[in-house]
Every structure is written in C-alpha cells, then in structure tokens.
Structure 1
Amino acid sequence: MLLFGRGAQRLFAFVAVMMLVLGVVLSGFYFLSPRASLRMTSGFPGTAADKFVKAFVAGAAARYRMVKVSLVPVQSYAESSKALENGKADIAIVRTDIAPPSNGATVAILRRDAVVLVVGPGSRVKSPADLIGKTIAIPQSPVQDDNSRLLDQLLAYFDIAPDKVKRVFLPVAETGAAIQRKHAAAVLAVGPIGPGEAVNVVTSIAKATRGTPKILEFDEADAIAKRFPGFESIDIPAGAFRGRPEVPDDTVTSVAVTYRIVVPQTMLDVIAGMIGKSIIDTKDKLMASLPMVSQIEAPDTDNPSPILPVHSGVANYFNSGDQSFLDSLQQYFYVIGIPLSFLGSLGAVFFGQVQGRKMANDQKQIYQLLVYADAARTADAAELDRLEAAFNAAVTDYVNRIATKGGDPGQAPISSLAIDHARRAFDRRRMDLREQKPTTPGPAVGQAGADKMRGSGPETTAQ
C-alpha cells in the first residue's frame, strides 16, 4: 500500500514553495524600507512651514520609492492637531501651545520660537506684571489670534485678566510707530532667535524711536513652563535680535513655543524612525536652498515632556542611528516571520493529515475490491451473485465519493487496476462454474440389451 500519493506530494511541494516565497518577502521587508502611505498636514500657504512640507514630500518621493506622502490641507494649527487626533492625518505640524493632539508623539522639532515682549527705550514697563491696563501691539499674521491667546496665558500667570490688557493688530513695519506715539506700551513678538518676526519688530522700534529697544525678562520662565506645558524656558543670548547696539544687551530668559512634526503614538517604531531619518536627510539636502530648515532639530530624548513626548521609534533612531533602524526592521522580521512560519508549518501538517485520511480511505476501498476478487475464486453461483452485487455497489460508492468530495488523482490508476482485476476474477469464476456443470443421463438399459447392441452374446454364438 502506498503511504503518499501524487496529490500529497503536490501539496507538500506547494507548501514548500509558499514558504520559500514567504521567506523572500520577509527578507525584502528586512533589507528594504517598509511600504507606507502617509498623509501629512500642510502649512499655511506662503509660510516657511508650508515650503518645508512641500520640500519634504518631494524629497520623500524621490528618496523612498516605497513611501508615498500626500498632503491634507488645513487652515490652522488647531485644525492640524484635530486631523491627527481624528485619524485623518498620519503626520502633522503643530504648535505646542495651540491645542496639541492628545495622541501625538514628536518625531522632530521644526522650529523653536521665542516669545518676547519688546518695549521702547526709556519705557516704564520693566516686567510682564506691569502690563495691566496697557495696550499690546501684535503683528498681523495668519497666527495673530493664536498669539493673542498665548498672551492671555502669560497674563494669567501674573493674575492679570485678559480684558485688562488691550490689543491692536498692526503690520510689523507699523509697530515701531505705535511705540513711538504711545499707542502701545509693548509689542508681542513670536519668532525664532535669528531672522524672523522678533528681529523685524526690534528693527521697526529702533528705527521709529531712534533708540535701543528693550526685551522684558521672564524670571519665572521655568514656573510658567510647568504650569503651561505648551511653553518651555529659553535663554536669548545678547545681540540675538540686533548687533549694534546689542538687543538684548545681555542674556535674557524668556519662554518659547515649538513647532513640532508629530505622529500618532501608536505608529510602528520602524515607520516613525524612518520619518525622523528622512526629515534629517531633507534638512541636509535643503540647507542651501531653504535656510529655515537649519532650525530643524532632533527632539531631546533625555527630557520627557508632558505633552507630545518623543516617539519611541524616533528616540531609538536618534540614540543609536542607522543601526537602531535596522534593528527595528529585524525585530519586525522576527515578530512577523516566526509566527507566519509557525502557522505555515501547522497548515502543512493539517493538510497533510487531511490528505492522509483521504488516501487511507482510497486505499481501504481498493483493498476491499481485492477482497471481493479473492472471494470470487471459490464462490458457488449464489455466493458469486452476492459478491458481484456488493462489488458493484462498492465501485459506485467509490466513484460518487471522488466526484463529490475529491480524491487523490495518484490513486486513480491503482483503483482502475483493482476494479479490472476483480471483474476478471468474477468472469473467470462464472466460466469455471459453467464448465463444471454435470451432463443429464439417458434411460437405463440391461446387460442383454447392451450385448445385443454390441452384436454378440452366448445365445447368438449357440445358434
């Protein structure tokens, strides 16, 4: 009896090929960047953030053929945060003081903006607490309302109600004239330490007043940052906003907000690490053509933040570099590959057992056909009829089972031989029984009659 038919061999060959294909696919996953289709919120049209986003998308498309990044248009940083929370975006640019997403994790810091209150030369305002009852000028911009709410938070720390401080929104170039004409006591500027809004405000005030502007210091910056996690403490070096005379004239402590590139905390480490790596690559490529990218920096992995913490995949990459990135890929290779291989092996065993049971049933029926053939050799006529009827029923059942439930095609030639062998056995036995049937005897005749038929006997001789 055959233990394995051609069907089983084909099944095992198929399983082996599938396992080989699986190994090739997982190897490709290990050595290549993972495929990903990512949605990223846009920046405000014409802003530096918008230029960076478009450059990043183009750079990602050129460098990572297996990664597709599409843009999700938004009109505010609050809308950008909401898009990440609602699952409408996979990457978002947010500002830490404007409704940060509850599910966000940082992959990179796009820019760090200092929050400064600039006053004119000889101003009586010496600290933020002196602003009660005064008017604050805020430069016009797409985020002017957000900056006004930022001012409310700072005033709240000094127990100053928002309605106790007036605001006027002016073009940057007119802020100096507002200070010179006493229409405003101070100007709120939110910008980087370097070219940007703060530098432009200082320049405007210096030109209008023909003096040296002053930067109010936030001695309570650390406490403010603890109370309002969207802020952080920052030291502004002397001469950061003007070189001669220097503004500020000495290092000043203030608060800052950061623009961050964030992803969901649930994003796979390997994808988040890839995004962090591609952002740094984009920075290096665009430094000459887009100066603002020089402000991009890796998040501080040693300083945990209560909001927008650093994503674990990004932390691993920035702490260990490319090796960590490959280790993450290897981790997913094992996590995915080993269970799939185990399931494939179980599947092969299961299908092997099913196929083995089918072969066993086929072989059992073939054996029964041979039993009928052996029994036919010594059967009398009545027994032969019974055996042949049982044989025909078995053949019919076997054919019907193959037609409905399938069977091993490799057993078909053996089945045909067994059926043919049994039929020949029945035919030979019937021929033997016909030859063994006795001839019917005629009427009895006496000895005399027999002698007479032979033409001899004692009486004939006597005559």
Structure 2
Amino acid sequence: MEFRRATATLPPARSTGGSETLDPYLQPAPRPVRRRMRLITLAAILALIGAVSAAYYFAMRPATLKIAVGPPAGDDVRLIQALAQVFSRERNTVRIRPIVTDGPAASASALRADAADLAVIRGDLPVPRNARSVAVLHKNLAVLWAPGRAGGKRKKTPGITAITELVGKRVGVIGRTEANAGLLRVILQQYGVDPSKVENVQLAVGDVPDAVQNRKVDAFLAAGPLNSKVISEALAATASSGHEPVFLGIDSSEALVANHPTYEAATIPAGAFGGGPVRPSDDIKTISFSHYIVARDGVADSTIATFTQQLFTARQTVMTENPLAAKIETPDTDKDAVIPVQPGAAAYVDGDEKSFLDRYSDLIWFSLMGLSATGSIGAWFASYLRKDERISNASQRDRLLDMLASARRCDSCDELDAMQTEADAILRDALNCYENGAIDSAALTAFSIALEQFHNAVADRKTLLAAVPPAPLRPARPQAV
C-alpha cells in the first residue's frame, strides 16, 4: 500500500509479454537542448572569430591620407608623388593620395574646407586655423637678379645693382603662383620702394631669353631651394642671352624678418648655382620661407605620428630619385612656433611616441570587460536553456529516493527488478545531464550515493525474500447455504 502511494505520481515500469517497457515520463528525454547548445556554442565561436578578424582588419588596414599639393608639374608635386609611391611599394601603414591644386594657396583652401587631410603650404601665406605643422618640406630662398648690360663686345657693365633702383622698372616674377608677387611687395616695402611703381610680369623659365633680349623686363625674382632646377635654368637662360646675371642682395634681411616673422634671414653661398663664372661670386644675403606639410585638426595623432616616421624613413630612398627630399626637416616644436606643431609629429620628434599598449590600453580594458560580461550573459543563457533538464533531473532524483524506500518493503522480486531497470534509466539520464552541464559534479555525486543505497536495498530485500519460505495456502472456508 505504501509503495503504491510512493509511486502514485510516477508509476513504476510495466512489463508486457516478458519485455520491460519504461513509462514515457521516465524515458531519457530527447536532447534538443544539447543540440541547441552545440549550435549556439558554434555560432558564438564563429561570431568571436569574425569579430576578432574584423577588428584585426580595421586595425591593420592602411590609412590613406589625402594631401593637397600644387602647382601641377611643380617640384612639390613630384616630391609628394615620389613619397606616395614609396609608401605604397613598401606597404606602409599610412598611405598618401596626392590631390593636385593650382598652388599653395589652393592647397591651404582645400585643407581649410576639410577636403584634404594634409596639405603643402607656404609659410608666408595665410595659414588655415585648422592647420598643424607635420614637417618642413623645404625652405625656399628669394633670388633677385638683373641682366648685366653689355658695354661692348668684351666689356660688360652692370645695369641695375640695387633693389632701390627698381623704381619704375619691370620685374619678371618666375613661376605660376601669385604668391611670389606678394614676396616682391614685401621686399620693395622694406627698401621704401612703392610697389605700385614697380610692374611685375609673370614669366615661365622658357620666357627668360626672350625677355632679356627684347628688354621686356629689367630684373627677375625667383623663389626655391638652393638646388632648384627652375632657378638654375632661369639664371642659365639669362646668361645665354649675353647678359651675365647681377645678383641683388637683400642686405636688410634681419630687419625684414623682424617685421615679418614668417620669413627667415638666409644666405646664398658663393657658387650655389654653378655656371661658367661662379654664380654668385660672393655670398649674397636674402630671405627664406618654408614650405610645410600640415595636417588638419581631426586627423588621429597616432596616424600623424606614423606618417611622420614613414616620411623621414622614406626620405633616404626618395633622395636618389628626387634630391629635393634631402631638404625635408622636422617641424618647430616650440610653443611660439609660427605654425603650431601637430601632437603626433611632436611625439615623433621628441621621442615620446606611444606604444601599442599606451594607445589601445583603454580599448583592451573595455574589450576584456565586454568579453567578461558577454561570457556571464552566455553562461546565464545556457543555464536558462538547461532549466527543463534540471527540473527533470530533480524529479528523477526524488523518484529514486521514493524507490529506495519502496524497495525495503517490497515483497516481489519482479517489482524489484523493474525498479532496478528504472534506476538504470535514471542514472543514464543523470549522466547525460552532467555531460550537458545541466548538473554539476556535486549533484552527480549525490546521485551516485542514492543509487548505491538503492542497489544495496534491493540486494538486501532479495536476500531476505529468498530466505523466508512462502506462506502456506489456507483452505477456503465453506460458504453457508
């Protein structure tokens, strides 16, 4: 009677035709949860691999910076294009894409409008407020000269010998950019010459011989590095017309620089431009200004630091193709610099570049926190999916304890065998739950103890039933008629 009460909720196994059939409730349940967990785990692993691959791709893919430079076919354009080719050939982290403009003023406008990340600008022109210096591409010298005046077949007497003699004259400004005309005005004003009384004519190098022979201009102004091909060709063209150049020195260069901080006092050394006779024959005082590579605000400091490092590394390679690369210099990192230095470039110049961990420590920290949170959420979700298994396992554990009590009072060996078969099925299901992670090792140990006690109880009960003889049958009582 007590056994029936204990098994009322979970009926024992039934035997039909000599074959034992377990109750469907006690059969090991199908494993859709286990299948789902495998699929979820596989999906999570694939998602993690995809996320890591995507992060690696975006972290390691080259960053391309647009750089505005001009005028077309100028020395600066050729130098930047050579640098771009080296960056691409060496598969550097940062690449540059030249955007050819009409000149430094147009390049500054492109940077001001955020149409470019970098720009090559002149330091003596208005600098965009969002510009930060990255490097000095080169320094340009102002070179003033006048054609010598021939006094006979052999003797040549100079024409104009000083800047103050340019009043009422025409000056040929070599180059397409109008910025050199502004340079001429600054020089004339320093010497008290009214710029409105000096006519300037823009010329190309090829126009110099005709301008000298036909006396279209009285003097020339060019600006460029000491090794500028344009200046050397213009001087050679002047001399080829039978008029040896007479250099006009800017002796008041220091005073001019004091009034115009964007310029620097400089000296043209004797023989800087070669020629038959040495040009110039003596050192000539002049002024210079810088061509800067500037970056706009908003470009990552780490990207500019990498670009600066690549720039000075590639300089040695580019020098063999373009000698102008030898003029690349580090920017002024002082706080009172004409153009404030970009922090990434300053870090490279000062040797304060951040390491990988310094740059990405915050990202790594938050990523680890995110992974930890994701793991916790995943563990909770997996535990939630195994909730039905845990409930079933708890019910079967209670059933096993009920069978343990019933086995001690059972009077039938067949019922004991059926309970043993049921206990085996419960054990199989418990092992599956443990394999799936629905229960831990402590719960499995408790199951093992309960199962051992059950089997001991069954063995003891069978021994007792075998030792006690069956009770004799009592004769039936006669029924009263």
Contact 2:69 2:104 in 1 (8 A): no
Aligned to 2:341: 310
Give the distance between the partners of 1:174 and 1:43, measured in 2 at CA: 21
Aligned to 1:54: 81
Give the distance between the partners of 1:211 and 1:68, measured in 2 at CA: 46
Deviations 1:188-231 (A, max 9, x none): 111221242333333344444544512322423464366352x3
Letter in 1 for 2:127: P
**Which TM-score applies when normalising by structure 1?**
0.63
**Which TM-score applies when normalising by structure 2?**
0.61
Aligned to 2:249: 216
Aligned to 2:181: 148
CA 1:73–1:238: 2 relative to 1, 3 Å = closer
CA 1:179–1:96: 2 relative to 1, 3 Å = same
- SS in structure 1 of the partner of residue 309 of structure 2: helix
Worse overlay, 164-173 or 204-213: 204-213
CA 1:173–1:19: 2 relative to 1, 3 Å = closer
Residue 137 (structure 1) shift: 1.6
CA 1:131–1:114: 2 relative to 1, 3 Å = same
Aligned to 1:378: none
Residue 304 (structure 1) shift: 5.5
Structure 2: gaps spanning 5 or more residues: 1-32, 149-157, 402-435, 444-478
Aligned to 1:299: 330
- SS in structure 2 of the partner of residue 247 of structure 1: coil
- SS in structure 1 of the partner of residue 287 of structure 2: strand
Aligned to 1:113: 140
Q: Give 1:208-247 correspondences, 5 Å limit.
A: 208=241, 210-211=243-244, 213-221=246-254, 223-224=256-257, 227=260, 229=262, 231-242=263-274, 245-247=277-279
Residue 63 (structure 1) shift: 1.0
Q: Give 1:233-312 correspondences, 5 Å limit.
A: 233-242=265-274, 245-295=277-327, 297-302=328-333, 306-312=337-343
Aligned to 1:102: 129
Aligned to 1:439: none
Give the distance between the partners of 1:334 and 1:95, measured in 2 at CA: 38
Aligned to 1:80: 107
Give the distance between the partners of 2:186 and 2:389, measured in 1 at CA: 83
Letter in 2 for 1:110: L
Aligned to 2:234: 201
Q: Which has the higher helix share?
A: 1
- SS in structure 1 of the partner of residue 65 of structure 2: strand
Give the distance between the partners of 2:92 and 2:331, measured in 1 at CA: 30
Deviations 1:227-277 (A, max 9, x none): 352x33322222223466443343333222333322224322332122223
Letter in 1 for 2:296: P
Contact 1:287 1:294 in 2 (8 A): yes
Residue 45 (structure 1) shift: 3.7
CA 1:200–1:260: 2 relative to 1, 3 Å = same
Aligned to 2:171: 136
Give the distance between the partners of 2:336 and 2:147, measured in 1 at CA: 35
Structure 1: gaps spanning 5 or more residues: 375-408, 415-451, 455-463
Deviations 1:30-77 (A, max 9, x none): 9xx663132233544433333333322222222126555434343332
Q: In the alignment, is residue 90 of structure 1 matched against residue 124 of structure 2?
A: no
Contact 1:206 1:213 in 2 (8 A): no
Contact 1:218 1:255 in 2 (8 A): no
Give the distance between the partners of 1:95 and 1:52, measured in 2 at CA: 15
Residue 114 (structure 1) shift: 0.6
CA 1:18–1:186: 2 relative to 1, 3 Å = same
Give the distance between the partners of 1:152 and 1:160, measured in 2 at CA: 9
Give the distance between the partners of 1:35 and 1:86, measured in 2 at CA: 24
Give the distance between the partners of 2:258 and 2:379, measured in 1 at CA: 66
- SS in structure 2 of the partner of residue 38 of structure 1: strand
Q: In the alignment, is residue 335 of structure 1 matched against residue 362 of structure 2?
A: yes
CA RMSD of aligned residues (A): 4.5
Contact 2:86 2:318 in 1 (8 A): no
